[in-house]
Amino acid sequence: MRLLIPLFSPATGTWGGLTRVIALAEAAKDAGHQVAFCASGYLESALRERGYRVYATTPTTMFGLPPALSRVLEKRSQRASIPVQPGKSVGSIWLVLALSGLARTGYLHRLVAEEINAAQDFKADRIFTDLDPGAFLTSAVSGLPIASAYASIASTGRGTFFWKLMQRAINPVLQSYKKPAMTPDELFFGESVLKIIPSIPELDDTNPARRDVRYVGQLIGVIRSSSPADFQIEEGRRYVFVYTGTGSISLDVLENTLPQLFPQDGDVTCMVGAQSLARPYRLGGVTFRPYVPADALLPHCDWTICHGGQNTIIHSLLYSVPLIIFPGPIFERRHNAKKVMQAGAGLMSEVNEFNPAWLRAAFEKRATFASKAAVLSQRIHSYGGAEAAVEAIAAWEG
């Protein structure tokens, strides 16, 4: 198999998508397959540094704005919160694509031309993508079989304003290649697309009996290495891992609240990962770092506090770590958090409840949730991971 992976490459970068595709690419290489990527910006650089063959694509900007203005928005996003009433859910995959500047016909024309050229040069016979709209269009134009990372919540939002924006963006591209018009749902989630779900049925609503669905438990790849001098676990010490991304608990709130729970001389160390940081620093018993190697930290953790991203949830459960989730209003994260809560592996709460009293009360319930997290850990491991995904993609004909 010669697998081309066009990667969703928003201006802000994406740990989640990069983690999943690296896991799959490494498994494909180990199985003797050839792999190449299409990517832009930070993700292009990250992949080249790992020694991958990468075809450069045209960078995009937030909402398609001029690059300078887009960079200002990117820098502010980590410390910002979304002004939505607690308990409300907003967004869809189509909003995410529009926010990332991908719901534009002109940009998609360039992107598809670049990816078709890459597929021809690489002699690809399969495509895998995490979310890149160009990949789905390239498959529709070229006839190459395509597989995509998927979650049931992604198919929501049909008929909304941003869904219509995407429909208006994709169909002129299809028309230029003399292909029939399609709805975004048909293009992204039709039966010809193999849906690789990096989760388990307990945490996703997709019917596992469908021919176009393959649950694989997890796609967790190592995206950055840390030297022993850069990151060390203190033997015998317990930790709490915190990763809240954007749109959830702001970095300012984390800095103000967490040191009250984790003093300098306390028994537990809190480790916060935040991509926007330039260097590590410490406040009381809380260490803030640009990147936390989760595989090194999670075996020593009592809890993960997070925003409800799929990778953080699955990664924590792999190590039987229960979760406290503050998803904010983001639609996908709220769905994920509710599934974790229903499965008995953690708690979900609203951003206005992120305070020392609420968190202390939650910490006392660890035993209840840890036992269920251990059960889910076994389930996740049983689905085969990236190796199972590669086997399914190699066998898929669309």
pLDDT for residue 46: 83
pTM: 0.91
Instruction: Rounding to the nearest 10 degrees, give the CA dihedral for residues 96, 102, 104, 109.
Output: -150
Half-sphere exposure of 261 (CA within 13 A, CB side): 27
Can you tell me the distance from the alpha carbon of 276 to that of 122, in angstroms, rounded to the nearest whole number? Answer: 35
Long-range contacts made by residues 256-263, C-beta under 8 angstroms, separation at least 24? Answer: 257/354, 257/355, 257/356, 257/359, 258/283, 258/284, 258/286, 259/283, 259/284, 259/285, 259/286, 260/284, 260/356, 261/356, 261/359, 261/360, 262/286
Can you tell me the distance from the alpha carbon of 332 to that of 369, in angstroms, rounded to the nearest whole number? Answer: 22
- 317: Cβ contacts below 8 Å, ≥ 6 apart: 323, 345, 373, 376, 377, 380
Q: What is the pLDDT of residues 211-251, one digit of tens each?
A: 999 999 999 987 665 544 567 888 889 999 999 877 789 89
CATH number 3.40.50.2000 given to 2-218+384-395: yes
Are both 2-218+384-395 and 238-381 of the same fold? yes
Q: Is 361 left (phi over 0), alpha (psi -120 to 50) or beta?
A: alpha
pLDDT for residue 50: 87
- 301: Cβ contacts below 8 Å, ≥ 6 apart: 238, 239, 240, 241, 316, 319, 321
Can you tell me the distance from the alpha carbon of 134 to that of 107, in angstroms, rounded to the nearest whole number? Answer: 10
Look at the block and give the residue holding tokens 């709209």.
133
pLDDT for residue 159: 94
pLDDT for residue 318: 97
The CATH number for 238-381, chosen from 3.40.50.2000, 3.40.720.10, 3.40.50.10470, 3.40.50.300, is 3.40.50.2000
Written in H, E and C, the secondary structure of 272-288 is EECCCCCCCEEECCEEE
Q: Could you count the other beta carbons within 10 Å of the beta carbon of residue 242?
A: 25
- 290: nearest Cα among 228, 221, 230, 229: 230
Those residues of the chain that have pLDDT short of 70 are 11-15, 62-63, 65-85, 87-90, 223-230
Q: How far apart are the first and last CA of the chain?
A: 15
pLDDT for residue 206: 97
Q: What is the pLDDT of residues 310-357, one digit of tens each?
A: 999 999 999 999 999 999 988 999 999 999 999 999 999 999 999 999
Q: Where do the domains of the chain lie?
A: 2-218+384-395, 238-381
Torsional sign, CA 94, 186, 203, 23: negative
- 150: nearest Cα among 206, 210, 220, 222: 206
